[in-house]
């Protein structure tokens, strides 16, 4: 079995200054709520140990998203490129982009693609000027990424902004409608609006779902599985949200959810490989 983990934050660079590593007991408490634990590599802050854990879990590539600040901290795009260079072939980087300033954001998108990153992360609700995903100020960035065929991972579920409206699916629905050739990935799967985002995905064929940690012991997980086993098998992405859960437990739990065997390779590997242009 081969796996691409679409949300994996290694203990490296400025990730170590984020709240997930800076307050590892908070991270452990989150894992405990799902009946899981953080891994040894997260507690020891060891990328080498993480790679051993990836190999044990069957994870070939980990997708590491950049972040531009806010209450959860940041991961710089330059640190991501250092991660890719130090551990060639193990990680794929997505550039964290601050959407507030259109001109500087577009320049950083183009620079990030030149230095080897494979997509863009936008978290409008977590910026220092919180915005909804469909805020008009973000639209030039979507247009640029659509023109350049750059996939966009959105912070679209969980704690995506100052209140729960920032994860509500009508916002990503409008973006998908207005940029029909843009690949959009809903990070955290617009949880807790599970039925609603599944309806949006039924309407908009350019949205991919990656509920990651919200597949593990959280309400709505079965609805995601039903969608995969129905119409969404080609637009669903496995993610662990490491370090919030250990990799082996995330894979084991996912395999117990009831995704049909005929769809597993797509969900665990092929869909992500297509988005990221990974040849194998």
Q: Which pLDDT score is estimated for 241? A: 95
Taking only the tens place, the pLDDT of each residue in 160-193 is: 999 999 999 999 999 999 999 999 999 999 999 9
Q: How confident is the model at residue 269 (pLDDT cuts 50, 70, 90)?
A: very high
Q: What is the dihedral of CA 262, 210, 186, 89, to 10 degrees?
A: -100
Q: In 3D, which of 223, 231, 225 has the Cα closest to residue 202?
A: 231
Could you give phi then psi for residue 62, rounded to 5 degrees? -110, 130
- What's the average model confidence in pLDDT over 120-128? 95
Alpha carbons 190 and 195: distance in angstroms, whole number: 10
Radius of gyration (C-alpha) of the chain in whole angstroms: 17
- The dihedral formed by the CA atoms of 76, 236, 90 and 27, expressed in degrees to the nearest 10: 60
Higher pLDDT, 148 or 69: 148
CA proximity to 68, closest of 43, 97, 37, 45: 97
Distance CA 219, CA 211 (A): 12
% of the chain residues with pLDDT over 90: 91
Q: Tell the residue number behind the tokens 């242009």, with chain if given.
A: 277
Query: Do 40 and 248 touch, CB atoms closer than 8 A?
Result: no
pLDDT in tens, 151-162: 999 999 999 999
- Count of other CB atoms within 10 angstroms of residue 25: 9
pLDDT of 70 over the 80 cut: no
Question: Structural domain boundaries of the chain?
Answer: 3-276
Q: Comparing C-alpha atoms, which of 130, 104, 125, 109 is closest to residue 66?
A: 109
Residue 72, pLDDT above cutoff 80:
no
Contacts of 92 (CB under 8 A, 6+ apart): 4, 61, 62, 63, 64, 84, 118, 276, 278
CA distance 160 to 41: 27
Write down the CATH number for the domain with range 3-276.
3.20.20.140
Pairing of strands 91-97, 59-65: parallel
Q: What is the pLDDT of residues 16-61, one digit of tens each?
A: 999 999 999 999 998 888 888 899 999 999 999 999 999 999 999 9
Q: Are strands 67-68 and 74-75 parallel, antiparallel or unpaired?
A: antiparallel
Contact in structure between 12 and 47 (CB atoms under 8 Å): yes
Please tell me the predicted confidence (pLDDT) of residue 259.
98
Mean pLDDT score of the chain: 95
pTM of the shown model: 0.96
- Give first-to-last CA distance, the chain, whole Å: 14
Question: Do 98 and 120 meet the contact criterion of CB atoms below 8 Å apart?
Answer: no
Q: What is the pLDDT of residue 66?
A: 95
Task: Give 59: exposed, middle or buried? Use CB within 10 Å, 0-12, 13-18, 19+.
Answer: buried
Three-class DSSP category at 143: helix
Low-confidence winner among 20-24, 33-37, 87-91, 210-214 (lowest mean pLDDT): 33-37
Q: Which two tokens stand for residue 145?
A: 């990424």
pLDDT at 90: 97
pLDDT recorded at residue 117: 98
């Amino acid at each position: 079995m081969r796996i691409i983990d679409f949300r994996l934050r290694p203990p490296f660079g400025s990730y170590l200054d984020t709240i997930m590593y800076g307050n590892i007991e908070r991270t452990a408490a989150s894992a405990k709520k799902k009946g899981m634990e953080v891994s040894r590599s997260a507690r020891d802050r060891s990328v080498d140990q993480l790679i051993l854990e990836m190999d044990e879990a069957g994870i070939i590539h980990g997708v590491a998203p950049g972040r531009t600040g806010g209450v959860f901290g940041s991961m710089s795009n330059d640190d991501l490129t250092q991660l890719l260079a130090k551990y060639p072939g193990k990680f794929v980087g997505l550039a964290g982009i601050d959407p507030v300033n259109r001109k500087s954001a577009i320049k950083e998108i183009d620079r990030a693609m030149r230095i080897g990153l494979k997509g863009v992360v936008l978290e409008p609700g977590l910026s220092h000027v919180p915005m909804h995903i469909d805020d008009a100020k973000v639209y030039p960035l979507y247009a640029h990424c659509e023109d350049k065929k750059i996939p966009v991972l959105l912070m679209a579920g969980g704690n995506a902004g100052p209140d729960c409206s920032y994860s509500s699916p009508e916002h990503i629905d409008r973006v998908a409608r207005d940029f029909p050739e843009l690949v959009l990935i809903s990070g955290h799967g617009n949880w807790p609006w599970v039925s609603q985002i599944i309806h949006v995905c039924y309407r908009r064929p350019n949205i991919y779902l990656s509920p990651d940690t919200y597949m593990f012991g959280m309400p709505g997980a079965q609805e995601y599985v039903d969608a995969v086993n129905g119409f969404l098998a080609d637009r669903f992405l496995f993610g662990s949200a490491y370090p919030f859960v250990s990799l082996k437990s995330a894979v084991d739990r996912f395999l117990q959810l009831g995704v049909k065997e005929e769809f597993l390779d797509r969900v665990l590997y092929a869909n992500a490989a297509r988005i990221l242009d990974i040849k194998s």
